[in-house]
Amino acid sequence: MDPRIANTENLAALAELSTELLGKRSDLAQRKARLGQLAPDERREEGRRLNDEREALEAAITARRAELEAAERDARYDAERLDLTEVTETVRRGHVHLVTRAIEELEDTFVGMGFTVAEGPVVETDWYNFGALNFPAGHPARNMYDTLYVEFGEPESTLLRTHTSPVQVRVMEGKEPPIYSVMPGLTHRRDTTDASHLPNFHQIEGLVVDRGITFGDLAGTLEAFTRAYFGGDISSRLRPSYFPFTEPSAEYDITCVFCKGTGCRTCGRTGWLELGGCGMVHPNVLKNVGIDPEEWSGFAFGFGIERMALMRHGIDDIRELVTNDIRFLRQF
Ligand code: 2NL
C-alpha cells in the first residue's frame, strides 16, 4: 500500500494523491489501457490484480478521508469554541485596600457624629505612649517583650507606639477642651502573627473632653456609632474592665455579626463579639496634660481597625488582610 496515503496532512492533499493513484493518468489507468494487448490468460490475471489494487487503494483513501475529516472537524470546533471563562484584556480598575476603606468609613461615621480626625507620629517617646497615660513604671506592657523599641536616646525611651493614645495626649496638650476627636493610625506590638493577631495593625481611638461628660454619654455615643457603622440590627454592650488610663473602664462588645446574637462558633455561643475598650479618662491623665479634672471630664475608647473590617465582611483570618493575594482583595 502506498505509504503516502496515511501520511497526507489534509483533505486537499488526499484528493490530489487520490487523482494521482486512481485518475486517468495513474499507473492503474495505464495498466488498464494496456490490458487489450495481453494474452487472454494474462489479461484475466492482470484484470483481477488491477481490481484488487484499486479496491485496496480506494479503501485506504476512504479510511484516511474519515480520519482527516474528523481531525479537521475537531480543529474547527476548537477554533470556534466560545470560552466563557476567558479573561478579557481590558484595563482593570483597582480600589482601595479593605483596611484603608475601613479607616475611611470609620472616619466618615465619626465625622458625621461631630468628631474631628487627628493624626500623630508612629515613633513615640515612652512618656507619650505610657507615662502620660498613667502606666506605672513597672507595668508589664512597658518592656521589650511587648513593645518594639527604637535605638535612639536612653534605652527604652523611644518606641513604636503600641496604641494611638499618644495622639490623644498630644491633642489634649495642644488644645483647650471641648475636644471631640478620633485618631486612626498604625500601631505596633511584639506579637506573633496568628488568625486574630498581627504585630502591625491599625487602631482608631476616640476622645471626648468637655464639661459634665458622664459614662452615660460614653455608652450612648458607642451605641450610636455601632448602629451607624454596622447597621440597625447590631447593638452594643459594655462590660467592666481595667485600663490604667481610664476609670471606670469597660470592654466594648457588639452583637455577633455572624449569628446576630443567637450564639455561634465565632462568638463562642455568647452572641457577642469583643471589639475594643473604653472608659472615663483617668483624672491623672487629665492632670498630666494640664487639664483640670475638677472642671472637665471625658471619655475615651479604642478599637482595632482590622478586627472591625473582619466583622464587617465576615472574614475569619486576619492574615488575609496582609497576604496581598489579589484574588482575595478583589472580592471586597
Ligand atoms: C482597646 C482599648 C482603649 C483608650 C483606649 C484612652 C486614651 C487617653 C485617655 C484614656 Cl489619652 N483612654 N484610650 C481608653 C480605653 C480603651 O483601647 O482594647 N483598644 C483596642
* pLDDT (0 to 100) of residue 80: 86
CB of 209 sitting under 6 A from ligand 1: no
* pLDDT (0 to 100) of residue 89: 77
* pLDDT (0 to 100) of residue 165: 97
Q: pTM higher than 0.75, yes or no?
A: no
Separation CA 205–CA 183 (nearest Å): 5
Separation CA 119–CA 57 (nearest Å): 90
Which residues, 6+ apart, have CB-to-CB distance to 62 below 8 Å?
none
* pLDDT (0 to 100) of residue 247: 97
CB of 126 sitting under 6 A from ligand 1: no
DSSP secondary-structure letter at 214?
-
The answer to whether 278 and 249 are in contact (CB under 8 A) is yes
Q: pLDDT (tens digit, 0 to 9) for every residue of the chain, 332 residues total?
A: 788 999 999 999 999 999 999 999 998 899 988 988 988 889 999 999 999 999 999 999 999 999 999 999 999 988 888 878 877 778 878 899 999 999 999 999 999 999 999 999 999 999 999 999 999 888 887 877 789 999 999 988 999 999 999 999 999 999 999 999 999 999 999 999 999 899 999 999 999 999 999 999 999 999 999 999 999 999 999 999 999 999 999 999 999 988 999 999 888 999 999 999 999 999 999 999 999 999 999 999 999 999 999 988 889 899 999 999 989 998 88
CB of 208 sitting under 6 A from ligand 1: no
CB of 245 sitting under 6 A from ligand 1: yes
* pLDDT (0 to 100) of residue 138: 81
Separation CA 280–CA 220 (nearest Å): 13
* pLDDT (0 to 100) of residue 45: 92
CB of 279 sitting under 6 A from ligand 1: yes
Task: Report CA torsion sign: 84, 85, 91, 94.
Answer: positive
Bridge partners of residue 239, in order along the sequence: 251
Separation CA 311–CA 317 (nearest Å): 11
Instruction: Classify strands 179-188 and 158-160 as parallel, antiparallel or unpaired.
Output: unpaired
**Which ligand 1 atom is at minimum distance from the Cα of 168?**
11
Closest residue by Cα to atom 2, ligand 1, is 277
Separation CA 2–CA 17 (nearest Å): 10
Find where cell 487602631 sits: 203
* pLDDT (0 to 100) of residue 94: 87
